[in-house]
Amino acid sequence: MSPGNPNVPVIFPQSPFVTFQQYGLHNDIGNVCEYPKAEVINNLRAAWQRSR
């Protein structure tokens, strides 16, 4: 599961990841927290659908 759309490029010549790479910035942060349980995702999706 990815937090963003993998089809949207983030590495290009004027990208902050390229511009600040020399200072240690990179786009591979790894896992910073556990994925939520399926029940949590389902409840969030149901709440969003009710609000529409």
Q: Looking at the predicted structure, is the pLDDT value of residue 2 above 60?
A: no
Write down the mean pLDDT value for the chain: 85
Rounded CA separation 18/37 (Å): 34
| pLDDT tier for residue 43 given thresholds of 50, 70 and 90 | very high
Closest CA to 15 of 30, 28, 32, 27: 27
Instruction: Write down the pLDDT at residue 47.
Output: 96
Instruction: Write down the pLDDT at residue 29.
Output: 66
Instruction: Write down the pLDDT at residue 9.
Output: 83
Q: Calculate the alpha carbon distances from 17 to 9, 33, 38, 40 in Å.
A: 11, 22, 32, 32
The string of pLDDT tens digits covering residues 26-36 is 877 666 778 88
